[in-house]
């Protein structure tokens, strides 16, 4: 039963139904006092958010930590937040396995020419193309964070040569890792590029004509990160020139993609509606509730964002 010293939690998830999340949290932390914005009558200690509003944070100045129901926090960091407020992201939460599946599917669909076969069949054609060797499709993983590293391991394990790039040096078995100023070298070794970067001022528009032109001829892009990483006009230009063979995009600069957006009807582009990794309720609530208890016990937690670098 809640009492005066119970943790006070507030959910602010205006674009999704917060009630199932609040119900699950009530089971994980039965002693907690839980409110859902905008029906918050008391100041909360901790917030659990998805696409929160500035009005929420203005009304809750006493917050000690805010937990984002996702791995990306770029939208959250655009708001005016107190400097003392800890911003905590979900660490995996069931997303890594989903992203591994998504990238594996997109990669194999391209290498096995399944899109081409589908177009041929619809056009009344029956053509068998020569088989393509995995070795001819070196895969570059742009971003070797928690999720990017798991993707790199899966792609390596199904037999593709893999290179990776991260801001700071990393070491991974069976994967050649690049960092910092080695971006151009990394790109030149990649025929399939998977973007798994956080969105920061430094990574916005990183998938531009200059960088994508460095990929091997016949390159393929898989973007599971953020739409703002990609300069859309540059991708169209490189597809028209033949330098790039296609793209599988789970994210767009504007979501949903406008009905008249050229990506929707482009024969070399596959779109999905930001579903490469959906936050799973049970593991995410278990993770957040444990971290709340750790904070209340004065213990350090992982997943806290460094505001200066944006992740």
Q: Which residues are catalytic?
A: 226, 274
Q: For residue 160, give Cα distances in angstroms to 24, 83, 98, 116.
A: 40, 44, 19, 21
- Strand intervals (E) in the chain: 8-12, 33-36, 46-49, 65-68, 86-88, 139-142, 162-166, 176-179, 192-195, 219-223, 244-249, 269-271
CA–CA distance, 204 with 4 (Å, rounded to integer): 45
Both structure tokens of 251: 């994210």
Sequence-distant (6+) residues with CB within 8 A of 113 are 129, 132
CA–CA distance, 197 with 89 (Å, rounded to integer): 14
Q: What are phi and psi of 10, to 5 degrees?
A: -130, 130
Q: What are phi and psi of 216, to 5 degrees?
A: -60, 150
């Amino acid at each position: 039963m809640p009492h005066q010293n119970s943790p006070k939690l507030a959910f602010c998830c205006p674009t999704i139904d917060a009630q199932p999340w609040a119900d699950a949290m009530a089971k994980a932390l039965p002693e907690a006092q839980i409110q859902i914005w905008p029906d918050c009558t008391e100041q909360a200690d901790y917030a659990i958010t998805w696409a929160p509003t500035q009005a929420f944070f203005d009304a809750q100045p006493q917050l000690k930590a805010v937990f984002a129901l996702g791995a990306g926090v770029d939208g959250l960091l655009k708001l005016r937040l107190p400097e003392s407020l800890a911003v905590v992201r979900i660490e995996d939460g069931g997303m890594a396995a989903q992203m591994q599946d998504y990238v594996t599917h997109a990669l194999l669909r391209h290498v096995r020419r399944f899109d081409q076969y589908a177009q041929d069949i619809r056009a009344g054609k029956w053509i068998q193309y020569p088989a393509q060797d995995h070795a001819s499709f070196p895969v570059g993983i742009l971003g070797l964070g928690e999720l990017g590293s798991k993707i790199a391991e899966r792609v390596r394990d199904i037999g593709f040569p893999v290179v990776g790039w991260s801001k700071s040096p990393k070491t991974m078995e069976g994967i050649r890792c690049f960092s910092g100023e080695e971006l151009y070298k990394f790109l030149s070794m990649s025929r399939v590029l998977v973007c798994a970067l956080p969105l920061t001022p430094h990574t916005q528009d990183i998938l531009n004509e200059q960088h994508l032109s460095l990929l091997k001829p016949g390159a393929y892009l898989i973007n599971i990160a953020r739409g703002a990483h990609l300069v859309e006009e540059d991708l169209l230009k490189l597809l028209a020139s033949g330098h790039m063979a296609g793209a599988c995009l789970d994210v767009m600069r504007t979501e949903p993609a406008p009905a008249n957006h050229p990506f929707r009807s482009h024969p070399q582009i596959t779109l999905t509606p930001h579903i490469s990794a959906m936050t799973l309720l049970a593991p995410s609530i278990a993770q957040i509730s444990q971290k709340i208890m750790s904070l209340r016990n004065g213990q350090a937690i992982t997943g806290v964002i460094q505001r200066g670098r944006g992740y």
